[in-house]
Amino acid sequence: MTFPEAVNLPFNGEIIRSRFTQRKPGELVGTAAGYWVFLQGDALLLAEAELYRGDLPDGFISLDRSLLFGEWDGEPVRLMTIPKDHPLPEPLRAVAFGDLPNDLMTLFGLARQILYWERMSCHCSRCGSSMERITPTWGKRCLSCGHDHYPHIHPCIIVLIRRGSEFLLVRKPEWAPGRFSLVAGFVDFGESLEECVEREVLEETGLKVTGIRYVGSQNWPFPSQLMAGFVADYASGELTLEPKELEEGGWFAPDRMPEILPPKRSIARWIIDRFCLGGQEKIN
């Protein structure tokens, strides 16, 4: 089995396949302390450069109960939230997720996505009652109406539009000045990924595209998206930005690039590097 190269991006399971096995609630029993994924805001707490291992440090107050979610290097690994202003005992220090190596960044993202689901699934969205776990899954069953709920992962498209040797980059008003990226958006009701590409590009830029090709995907745990990456060719239309979504946009080239590109960890950057900046000129 082979996958598109994008499978090797952070937040995709492949990155931690050799170190981590995901376990659903109730699958693993036992009391071994193992490893801890301590989440503190946008940071992971590390001991030296690795996950903390052993009994919970004295005085750690958690916002949530700890949750055993898999095995890391063959030992149980639990996630726990640490309040932002909580003092850190030795040897723990907070490392912002963007500074983590790819494997710990990926584990951080997974833990964050699981935690998001746990927080969003306290009550039934149908009747408002409490829920209980459907073991051994991440699902929850309503104690009152019996409805079953499973984690929500939201599909999105992200697309590079090429016109000859140029490509379209856009920016949202909330981004840092000078930062540009690709057109992206959420899949709508009754829509395929390809149809979503067509619609988002037309809505946001006024352009029509053709030759829509899937190039790879990335799990994006901010909070719970699946980014499906595409490359498409310009077909027709004048660039007309949707002002509520985009502040600026234009046709760029390798010798005329914006000041700031998306971070290396993102599929946006992977597509730009690979399909704009010489990684690969042609795709099948």
Which lies closer to Zn ion via its Cβ, residue 96 or residue 145?
145
Instruction: Indicate whether 96 belongs to the interface with Zn ion (CB under 5 A).
Output: no
Closest approach of Cβ 140 to Zn ion, in Å? 10
Half-sphere exposure of 266 (CA within 13 A, CB side): 15
Instruction: Indicate whether 228 belongs to the interface with Zn ion (CB under 5 A).
Output: no
Instruction: Indicate whether 283 belongs to the interface with Zn ion (CB under 5 A).
Output: no
Find the DSSP H helices in 35-130.
102-120
Q: Which of 92, 124, 183, 196 binds Zn ion (CB under 5 A)?
A: 124
CA proximity to 262, closest of 201, 196, 176: 176
Cα distances from 110 to residues 37, 88, 103, 174, in angstroms, run 10, 23, 11, 26
- How far is C-alpha 95 from the geometric centre of its chain's CA atoms? 18
CA distance 45 to 48: 10
Instruction: Indicate whether 127 belongs to the interface with Zn ion (CB under 5 A).
Output: yes
The interface with Zn ion within residues 145-174 (CB under 5 A) comprises: 145, 147
CA proximity to 231, closest of 174, 279, 191, 264: 279
Closest approach of Cβ 83 to Zn ion, in Å? 31
Question: Between 173 and 202, how does the x/- string for binding to Zn ion read (CB under 5 A)?
Answer: ------------------------------
Question: CB under 5 A: which stretch of 25-33, 143-151, 203-211, 234-242 binds Zn ion?
Answer: 143-151
Which lies closer to Zn ion via its Cβ, residue 140 or residue 265?
140
Question: CB under 5 A: which stretch of 60-68, 94-102, 118-126, 179-187 binds Zn ion?
Answer: 118-126
Instruction: Indicate whether 131 belongs to the interface with Zn ion (CB under 5 A).
Output: no
CB atoms near residue 17 (< 10 Å): 11
Question: CB under 5 A: which stretch of 62-70, 81-89, 140-148, 191-199 binds Zn ion?
Answer: 140-148
Instruction: Indicate whether 142 belongs to the interface with Zn ion (CB under 5 A).
Output: yes
CA proximity to 122, closest of 65, 75, 57, 185: 65
* Residue 180 φ/ψ region, left for φ over 0, alpha for ψ in the -120 to 50 degree band, beta for the rest: beta
Which lies closer to Zn ion via its Cβ, residue 124 or residue 169?
124
Closest approach of Cβ 142 to Zn ion, in Å? 3
Pairing verdict, β 166-171 and 248-252: antiparallel
Closest approach of Cβ 125 to Zn ion, in Å? 8
CB atoms near residue 248 (< 10 Å): 14
Instruction: Indicate whether 63 belongs to the interface with Zn ion (CB under 5 A).
Output: no
Binding site for Zn ion (CB under 5 A): 124, 126-127, 129, 142, 144-145, 147
